[in-house]
Amino acid sequence: MGLQLIKPGTAVNFIGRRKIALVVSALVLLLGLGSLLLKGGPKYGIDFAGGITVQTQFAADVSLKDIKAALATAELPSLNVQKFGTEGGNEYLFRVAAVDISSSEVRQAVQEALSAEMDTGFEIRRLEMVGPKVGADLRAKALEALFYAILIISIYISGRFEHRWLASALMAGGLAGGLYVLQIAGFPLSALVVAALVIAVGMCWYLKLNFALGAVIALIHDVLVTVGVFSLLNKEFDLSIVAALLTIIGYSLNDTIIVFDRIRENLRGKAAKHRSLKETINISINQTLSRTILTSGTTLLVVISLFLFGGGVIHNFAFALLVGVIVGTYSSIFVASPLLLGFQIDPPEEKDAVQEQTV
């Protein structure tokens, strides 16, 4: 017998608390979106905005205040200084957001300023430069990756849970056609991504692909909450955060599929005829609760270890995963599942059960 944290027969009324969860989600989303609007979008890192990063290690402990005072004499444009790496490593990152200055000029200015103003020896360990065009290309590819991840997932969920591959194909065709028209009309990529998500959600609704619609809305919820938290905390958004968002999408989807699978299985059972849809969804969430707690708990242990001991390079990546795992677990219970109740899904047909048994 496997490890069970939750006793059989446990009946927590998750669906009964869906309105409270709806208010919580709405508040968090509004705070995040409000922050993004006020700040003009995410705070892009060097990867996306372009600029120069200088990683420097000092021979002894130095204060951030002294470094900033020393570098002030260099008069580097849009300079940002932050501690980097583990405690006691004496490493700092200098970021120059301007793109009209060469890497050799920055290196020389840093060396001259630190040599003249500081008594401690230092070594420039890394200097990276990203041009504005490369930054724009990377930003476009990151948006494309997020968009296609959600699109392919919605098509997979439609076929996986509802065995309606024709409807999924129609959705993919409609989406491709809509995007083609908007592209010809000259819409920018950021607008195309938003339009694609709206079209995908709209077509799922029109074609009654309810499981796919619930999963996609939950994924969009998770991504928006994570990006909003980064904006509220003024954290930089770079390529490692895009990788974290794609990981969060995969994790959240896996959790949602487990709950959806149990809902579909319970809807097909004879007992479903004597229960309301609300009761069936609630029972399904409770039946998968032990697995959800074990999976999320062990994943969080790893992510917290990365966040605390992983060092400066992956600190923001680990933080994004930390937020994403918590939000993804929450959304599979309080966002995706209650949406099925709102859609009033029908029990799966018997032929679906026969098809699954023969696979």
The pLDDT tens digits along the chain (359 residues) read: 555 666 777 778 888 888 899 999 999 999 999 998 998 888 887 777 778 888 888 888 888 888 888 888 877 877 778 777 666 778 888 888 766 778 788 888 888 888 888 888 888 888 877 766 666 777 777 777 777 776 777 777 777 766 777 777 787 777 777 777 877 887 776 677 777 778 878 887 888 888 888 888 888 899 899 999 999 998 888 878 888 888 888 888 888 888 888 888 888 877 667 788 888 888 889 888 888 888 888 999 999 998 888 776 788 889 999 999 999 899 988 988 888 887 766 655 544 444 444 43
pLDDT of residue 34: 93
Matching residue, tokens 């299985």: 265
CB 144 within 8 A of CB 242: no
Phi-psi region of 214 (alpha: psi -120 to 50; beta: other; left: phi over 0): alpha
Distance in angstroms (rounded) separating the CA atoms of residues 252 and 216: 10
| Token reading at 46 | 């060097």
Amino acid 68 reads: K
Matching residue, tokens 């390529």: 239
The structure's pTM equals 0.77
Q: Where are the domains of the chain?
A: 17-43+134-350, 51-130
Rounded to the nearest 5°, which phi and psi values hold at 35? -65, -40
H or E element in which residue 194 lies: helix 189-206
Matching residue, tokens 């709102």: 342
Where are the strands (E) in the chain, listed by range? 43-44, 51-58, 79-84, 91-96, 122-130, 236-237
For the domain made up of 51-130, give the CATH fold: Alpha-Beta Plaits (3.30.70)
Distance in angstroms (rounded) separating the CA atoms of residues 166 and 182: 24
Rounded to the nearest 5°, which phi and psi values hold at 94? -110, 125
Architecture of the domain made up of 17-43+134-350: Up-down Bundle (1.20)
| Token reading at 320 | 């994004």
pLDDT of residue 1: 52
Distance in angstroms (rounded) separating the CA atoms of residues 241 and 43: 12
* 3-state SS class at 83: strand
pLDDT of residue 226: 92
pLDDT of residue 359: 37
Distance in angstroms (rounded) separating the CA atoms of residues 94 and 82: 7
Beta-carbon contacts of 60 under 8 Å, excluding residues fewer than 6 positions away, are 90, 120, 121
The model's pLDDT over 199-217, given as tens digits with 9 standing for 90+, comes to 878 887 888 888 888 888 8
